[in-house]
Amino acid sequence: MISVENGVFKLDTPNTTYLFHIMETGHPVHLYYGPRLAETGDLAAYPTGTNLRMPTFVNYSDAAPRLYMTLPLLETSSWGKGDLRQGAFAGELGPSGEIVFDFTFSDWRIESADTTHTSHLPAARKDHAQTLVLTLSDKPTGVVMELRYTVYEDSDMMVRSCAVINNSREPLTIRSLASLQLDIPETDFEAITFNGGWARERTVTRAPLTVGTFGIASNAGSSSAEHNPLFLLSGRQGCYLFNLLWSGDHRETIEVTPYDTIRVLTGLNPEGFSRLLNPGERFDAPEALMAYTAGDENEASHISHDFISRYITPLAWKNRERPVLLNSWEGMGLDLSEENIIRQAASAKELGVELFVIDDGWFRPGLHAIGSLGDWEPVKNKFPDGMKRTVDAIHDMGMLAGIWVEPECISIDSDLYRAHPEYLVRSPGRDPSPGRDQYLLDYTRDEVVDLIYEKLEKLIAENGFDYVKWDMNRYFSDDHAPNVRGGEFRFRWMLGVYRLLDRFTRRFPDLLLEGCSSGGSRFDPGMLCYANQIWGSDNTDATDRVPIFSGTSCGYPQCCFGAHVSRIPNEITGRVYDYETAFNVNAFGAFGYELDVTKLNETERRMFSDQIAFYKENRALLQFGKFTRVEDGDEVIWTVENEDASKLIAFYLEKRAGVFRHRIHRLVVPSCRSDALYRVTARRQWITAPGMCERRGGPHLSESFERTVPGALLRRNGMALMPVFLGTEYKEDTAFLGDYGSRLFLIEKIA
Ligand code: DGJ
């Protein structure tokens, strides 16, 4: 996978090659990243930018008068030797704050085993992998930079990271350190980023690149709903995908130079960050992910889905089907008691639900989400004898039991605050800023990590919970902790949380952990190292979930995406759609319900039971199948397929009834095999629209639809759908869709 010859480093994944060499000056220069190369040929043939002549540029040195550091494609970069682009590293050394650094080759080695070098940072597993460690140093000062490249036998994803070791005699302040730098000699790309806010997380933004710097960043203290660290560069020559294993602030920049090159940097956000390294100390930046495919965005996301499932998320739930859950939040609010929970759980069990999740409220005496954060004791007025009896009752019904916690925050009105006001993060002399009436707990302190660990350990072990929803409902402010330098606060804080997550998940390796942050405000590969799934969004309106899921699926596998059917009309948007579309959308995720199931009418109960039965029957495919976005306009088509494309499920949705009436409705499924014959059947779902019910005397099952279809037709022209109701005839084979009408199609190979 990794070979090194005459200063040329060749890193091969199954389908790609990454190539760089060490120039005479000692700088690692990037040669190539693209489809796999059998032979490398002449190095002089690679467009590295080392042969352009410009009068305004600074010559690197007398010995290398023709080298202008702003032109070459470099593996790393710093300030002060003529590179005018944004650098991967910036620092200040010694009392005078020297800022010139120039890292050149010292050494290299290959690590083969899973020698995860930084247990305090989330890390991808490194089995079936080799890691190239390239050591560079700034010769006059002795400051060392380590570039790490991990290449896998069976994945086109590469893991990159970077460390700085202060081998000088002076203290070094790191101002910025990107985890990954990639310089490439082409610029014709669209940058695809995933942005939004609360209740509209990770929706797709496409920006054609032009000369200048395009960037996104999070200053929230969290990877944030505003800008996810995932991004893609998509162009005629293929697609690059990047991500970062970090759940705090991050910055991604794509700099298009006037010399037809691009520099990509991703890593910690330098704003609000600095790190003091005393002589002998080392600092590791988080790991970054990088993939290239000659294919399109779907191909890039397949690489990412596969990698996250095999090398990032905890192994105990790898390929293990996620239970259908009922979460108490939207249905019961904070009105929780043993009796209420058991009533809901019993009703949910009849529908086929497998996991009951007790959300916020079990530790707060009142009916508002205020107070008691940090205490993590069941409150007496709701659970006079604790929660064990409730959990046992759920278990006795044959269901799993889950609990909600928010371990990173503290309320002023809590026993924890009364005992330890110093644990609340505040900046000296200022009133701390509340977020949702709560404050940050000081995770830079080991005693806070230990204390919260003990409380959580007791809660889970004593009551026997099988699942935990780990929420975090505010962004950062008032960055300060005693004995921690201001610029180090957020980094050290996040490490404290990771330490807690690490210890907690080691203690309960079988527990299913679901991350959450006011919905999906912290959805990143760092969290996914500990949590197998993350709640997708507080926006449970199925029609709004479509763009949220389409965006999320560009980088994250569907089994990681918590997806629930909630009450209609929707609580946030007030929108009315039907429960079958709500199911069809959310079936592409870690599925559940979030509403008062005791209030369902008879038709809804039959409908939900049918949905759950269908989901369970097809769950392996829905959760772990290869996911593809086919259409994403007024019609939406998603598909999942098994390994040999002999079984697929397609989702078809029409956003606005009537818009397409004069078009041929068709289902295009590019993942079908051209040479195969398929049987396509539509899931029969309940039609409850009043006008249709009048025509048929009440709620009824949708049209029966079965076709035998050649794979080549499904791939190319698409299969004609059933006739859609046009206002006059409503026959046995007519489909009623309406606004946001949808169907699921089962596609099975028969020959
Ligand atoms: C925010 C989450 O996203 C919701 O699902 C719910 O758990 C609330 N917090 C509870 O406070």
Strand 203-208 to strand 238-244: parallel, antiparallel, or no bridges (unpaired)? unpaired
Cα angle for residues 247, 250, 255 (degrees, 5° grid): 150
Q: Which of 156, 183, 471, 541 is catalytic?
A: 471
Question: pLDDT per residue over 423-478, tens digit each?
Answer: 999 999 999 999 999 999 999 999 999 999 999 999 999 999 999 999 999 999 99
Average pLDDT over residues 263-267: 98
Minimal-distance CA residue to ligand 1 atom 1: 518
What is the SS3 assignment for 345? helix
Cis omega (within 30 of 0) on the bond before 428?
no
Minimal-distance CA residue to ligand 1 atom 6: 329
Question: Percent of the chain beyond pLDDT 90?
Answer: 93
What is the DSSP-derived secondary structure letter of residue 310?
I
Using the mean position of ligand 1's atoms as its centre, give its distance from the Cα of residue 663 in Å: 42
Mean pLDDT score of the chain, rounded to an integer? 96
Q: Which of 102, 359, 375, 538 is catalytic?
A: 538
Residue 52 pLDDT more than 80?
Answer: no
Residue 117 pLDDT more than 70?
Answer: no
Give the pLDDT confidence score for residue 277 in this predicted structure. 98
Cα angle for residues 128, 130, 133 (degrees, 5° grid): 155
Give the pLDDT confidence score for residue 633 in this predicted structure. 85
Using the mean position of ligand 1's atoms as its centre, give its distance from the Cα of residue 517 in Å: 7
Which residues touch 355 (CB under 8 Å, ≥6 apart)? Answer: 323, 324, 325, 326, 399, 400, 401, 402, 466, 467, 512, 592
What is the DSSP-derived secondary structure letter of residue 732?
T
Do residues 291 and 240 make contact, with C-beta atoms less than 8 angstroms apart? yes
Minimal-distance CA residue to ligand 1 atom 9: 518
d(CA 525, CA 287): 10
Residues with CB under 6 Å of ligand 1 are: 329, 359-360, 369, 404, 471, 473, 516, 518-519, 535, 538
Give the pLDDT confidence score for residue 27 in this predicted structure. 97
Average pLDDT over residues 351-366: 98
Question: pLDDT per residue over 252-264, tens digit each?
Answer: 999 999 999 999 9
d(CA 316, CA 510): 6
Question: pLDDT per residue over 645-679, tens digit each?
Answer: 999 999 999 998 876 666 788 999 999 999 999 99
Distance, C-alpha 302 to centroid of its chain: 14
Using the mean position of ligand 1's atoms as its centre, give its distance from the Cα of residue 360 in Å: 7
Distance, C-alpha 589 to centroid of its chain: 13
> Known catalytic residue: 544?
no
Minimal-distance CA residue to ligand 1 atom 2: 518
Do residues 703 and 722 make contact, with C-beta atoms less than 8 angstroms apart? yes
CA of 359, closest atom in ligand 1: 7
Q: At what angle do helices 388-396 and 338-351 cross, to 10 degrees?
A: 20
Minimal-distance CA residue to ligand 1 atom 10: 360
Give the pLDDT confidence score for residue 656 in this predicted structure. 87
Distance, C-alpha 123 to centroid of its chain: 14
CA of 469, closest atom in ligand 1: 7
Using the mean position of ligand 1's atoms as its centre, give its distance from the Cα of residue 506 in Å: 25
Residue 21 pLDDT more than 80?
Answer: yes
Residue 70 pLDDT more than 70?
Answer: yes
Using alpha carbons, select from 583, 542, 533 the residue that is nearest to residue 352: 583
Using the mean position of ligand 1's atoms as its centre, give its distance from the Cα of residue 333 in Å: 10
Distance, C-alpha 366 to centroid of its chain: 34
Distance, C-alpha 546 to centroid of its chain: 16
Residue 116 pLDDT more than 80?
Answer: no
Query: Could you tell me the strand order of the sheet in which 626-632 lies?
Result: 626-632, 635-641, 647-654, 741-749, 677-682, 706-710
Give the pLDDT confidence score for residue 632 in this predicted structure. 83
CA of 516, closest atom in ligand 1: 3
d(CA 88, CA 163): 11
Would you place residue 53 in the very low, low, confident or very high pLDDT band (cuts 50, 70, 90)? confident
Q: At what angle do helices 446-463 and 388-396 cross, to 10 degrees?
A: 50
Would you place residue 118 in the very low, low, confident or very high pLDDT band (cuts 50, 70, 90)? low
Give the pLDDT confidence score for residue 660 in this predicted structure. 61
516, 537, 566, best to mutate for ligand 1 pocket (most atoms within 8 Å of CB): 516
Using the mean position of ligand 1's atoms as its centre, give its distance from the Cα of residue 438 in Å: 14
**Where in 493-633 does DSSP place strands (E)?**
512-515, 533-535, 561-566, 590-594, 626-632
Using the mean position of ligand 1's atoms as its centre, give its distance from the Cα of residue 473 in Å: 8
Using the mean position of ligand 1's atoms as its centre, give its distance from the Cα of residue 468 in Å: 13
Using alpha carbons, select from 535, 545, 537, 595 the residue that is nearest to residue 571: 595
Residues present in the chain in total: 751
Rg of the Cα trace of the chain? 27
Average pLDDT over residues 16-40: 97
473, 540, 564, best to mutate for ligand 1 pocket (most atoms within 8 Å of CB): 473
Would you place residue 114 in the very low, low, confident or very high pLDDT band (cuts 50, 70, 90)? low
Minimal-distance CA residue to ligand 1 atom 11: 360
Using alpha carbons, select from 111, 53, 105, 113 the residue that is nearest to residue 76: 105
Using the mean position of ligand 1's atoms as its centre, give its distance from the Cα of residue 572 in Å: 13
Give the pLDDT confidence score for residue 659 in this predicted structure. 64
Give the pLDDT confidence score for residue 726 in this predicted structure. 80
Residue 221 pLDDT more than 60?
Answer: yes
Using the mean position of ligand 1's atoms as its centre, give its distance from the Cα of residue 437 in Å: 14
Using the mean position of ligand 1's atoms as its centre, give its distance from the Cα of residue 225 in Å: 15
> Known catalytic residue: 471?
yes
Using the mean position of ligand 1's atoms as its centre, give its distance from the Cα of residue 91 in Å: 40
